[in-house]
Amino acid sequence: MQKGRPREFCKEQVLDKALHVFWERGYEGTSLSDLTEAMGINRPSLYAAFGNKEELFRQALDRYAEKGPGAVYREALAEPTAKAVVERLLKSSADCLTDPANPPGCLAVQGALSCGDAAESIKQELCQRRARVEQELRLRFERAKAEGDLGRKSEPESLARYVMTVMQGMSVQAAGGASRADLHAVADMALRGLAAAES
Amino acid sequence: MQKGRPREFCKEQVLDKALHVFWERGYEGTSLSDLTEAMGINRPSLYAAFGNKEELFRQALDRYAEKGPGAVYREALAEPTAKAVVERLLKSSADCLTDPANPPGCLAVQGALSCGDAAESIKQELCQRRARVEQELRLRFERAKAEGDLGRKSEPESLARYVMTVMQGMSVQAAGGASRADLHAVADMALRGLAAAES
DNA sequence: CTATATATGTACTGAACGGTACCGATATAG
DNA sequence: CTATATCGGTACCGTTCAGTACATATATAG
């Protein structure tokens, strides 16, 4: 057992609260007072448990990527065909981005799309995460091409970038108030276009 | 002639400087010190000429919409066919969003995608502007449908939302460092999909 | 000229920011 | 029990924020 006085809150639980605030207001738009209020702990406890605002954001982002929408995206990549991957990806995105339990949109997009100097490294981190997802998608399409699942003329890199672009656009739409049905219509249209272009 | 001491700077010129800063750092990420430094004027001059930070942003946004990328978008709407409109829109977006003379991305997207309470009304304003553009695009497609330029089964509303989604996604891509060629590839893929789905 | 009106520059305001020193409380280790 | 280590709460730190008071400078109106 650990020495000292035990912590009186559940770290994961308050981290989820912090995630929710960052998701809603972005990194710069979130103040420490917003965080402590939502998390139900006071400032020194936050610093003791999570380091500082930036480290807290990174931990919230990790949680977002592991337990949140990131998990859904990993499931999509496991679909057996490229077409199924894209369909699952776009459909799940439409659901995720408009899940009433969460703020609308995607943390990796709206967490710090543009910002002042203080948040620059957070912005970079989010860019890298988005780029990593795009690359994993590209690798998945390259595999599909090698397996004959995608045509010989297909371009995995462009395809991955295109799908990411649609998803990121959907995230902006969601942040702007688009409904779940709206986003599903967008996903359907993108899928129809891809299917038609492929044939 | 006007009484009093004349202003020593060109209002439009320093407004362009402010626009550039807001474009790069977003509304919340931009401080008054950033603004005065870039504009080359001091604080009271800024307040005398533009009101306050929020009004300055709105004036910069108006300028963005009139003289900047907004003008390009209006030209696109004037193309004779729906297909030409979309093509021009996506191609111009690819160019605009990566114009080396400007910060990458779109002010209406990254100006305040998510934010704290203080910037809430700015966020709303940007949402409305994006929605207005989408509606104008929808109206253009409805006209095209009425003219027989678009098929009877086409859905102007979904089409407009889809094109906006791709453009907004391209804006996120640009903010993340995508090159002009990258975005043109995205535009081409979207156009191919639309053409194929239409036929 | 004087009177008036507007612009500029310095230096400031109160509030909010992120972050911390410090002390009392509460656990384990021996 | 005492010693030690961590937690929680108050009250604070220096800095930066958006916004402004005020004195000075420079124009026009008469």
Q: Per residue in B34-50, pLDDT tens?
A: 999 999 999 999 999 99
- What is the pLDDT averaged over residues A129-144? 98
Domains defined for chain B, CATH in brackets: 11-63 (1.10.10.60), 69-198 (1.10.357.10)
Residue A47 has pLDDT above 70, yes or no: yes
Name which of B157, B188, B114 is nearest A119 in CA terms. B114
Give residue B198's pLDDT band: very low, low, confident or very high (50, 70, 90): confident
Predicted pLDDT at B197 = 78
| Residue among B26, B34, B161 whose CB faces A114 most closely | B26
Give residue B195's pLDDT band: very low, low, confident or very high (50, 70, 90): confident
Q: Which of residues 157-176 of B touch strand C (CB under 7 A)?
A: none
- Percent pLDDT > 90 in chain B is 95
Instruction: Check if residue B43 sits with its Cβ under 7 angstroms from strand D.
Output: yes
Token pair for A163 = 């799908």
- Percent pLDDT > 70 in chain B is 99
Residue A14 has pLDDT above 70, yes or no: yes
Give the Cα-Cα-Cα angle A4, A5, A8 (nearest 5 degrees): 145
- Chain A partners within 8 Å of B189 (Cβ): 158-159, 162, 197
Predicted pLDDT at A173 = 99
Interface-testing mutation among A34, A114, A115, A138, with chain B (most B C-beta atoms within 10 A): A114
Partner B contacted by A32 (CB < 8 A): no
A120: distance to nearest CA of chain B, Å? 10
Predicted pLDDT at A199 = 61
Predicted pLDDT at A197 = 77
Residue B12 has pLDDT above 70, yes or no: yes
Nearest protein residue, CA measured to C1' of C29: A3
Question: Under a CB-based contact definition with an 8 Å cutoff, are residues A124 and A60 in contact?
Answer: no
Interface-testing mutation among B27, B113, B122, with chain A (most A C-beta atoms within 10 A): B113
Residue B1 has pLDDT above 80, yes or no: no
B164: distance to nearest CA of chain A, Å? 8
Q: Which of residues 7-36 of A touch strand C (CB under 7 A)?
A: 30-34
Which nucleotide C1' is nearest A53 CA?
Answer: C18
Which nucleotide C1' is nearest A117 CA?
Answer: D16
Residue A50 has pLDDT above 70, yes or no: yes
Which nucleotide C1' is nearest B28 CA?
Answer: D17
Which of A70-74, B1-5, B107-111, B157-161 shows the lowest per-residue confidence on average (mean pLDDT)? B1-5
Mean pLDDT value across chain B: 97
User: Cβ B29–A28 below 8 Å, yes or no?
Assistant: yes
Residue B196 has pLDDT above 90, yes or no: no
B119-175 residue pLDDT tens: 999 999 999 999 999 999 999 999 999 999 999 999 999 999 999 999 999 999 999
Instruction: Check if residue B41 sits with its Cβ under 7 angstroms from strand C.
Output: yes
**B4 CA, C3 C1': Å apart:** 12
Predicted pLDDT at A147 = 95
Report chain A's C-alpha Rg in angstroms.
19
Give residue B199's pLDDT band: very low, low, confident or very high (50, 70, 90): low
Amino acid (1-letter code) at residue A189: M
Instruction: Check if residue B43 sits with its Cβ under 7 angstroms from strand C.
Output: yes
Nucleic acid strand C: bases within 7 A of protein CB: 4-11, 16-22, 24-29
Written as one string, the DSSP assignment of chain B is ---SPPPSS-HHHHHHHHHHHHHHHHHHH--HHHHHHHHTS-HHHHHHHH-SHHHHHHHHHHHHHHTSHHHHHHHHHTSSSHHHHHHHHHHHHHHHHT-TTS-SS-HHHHSSSS--GGGHHHHHHHHHHHHHHHHHHHHHHHHHHHTTSS-TT--HHHHHHHHHHHHHHHHHHHHTT--HHHHHHHHHHHHHHHHHHH-
Alpha-carbon torsion A90, A139, B198, B82, what sign?
positive
Residue B78 has pLDDT above 70, yes or no: yes
A153-185 residue pLDDT tens: 999 999 999 999 999 999 999 999 999 999 999
- For chain B, the residue count is 199
Residue A119 has pLDDT above 70, yes or no: yes
Q: Does the complex come out with an ipTM higher than 0.85?
A: yes
- What is the pLDDT averaged over residues A122-135? 98
- What is the pLDDT averaged over residues A105-128? 98
Mean pLDDT value across chain A: 97
- What is the pLDDT averaged over residues A7-35? 98
A56-108 residue pLDDT tens: 999 999 999 999 999 999 999 999 999 999 999 999 999 999 999 999 999 99
**A5 CA, C18 C1': Å apart:** 26
Predicted pLDDT at A178 = 98
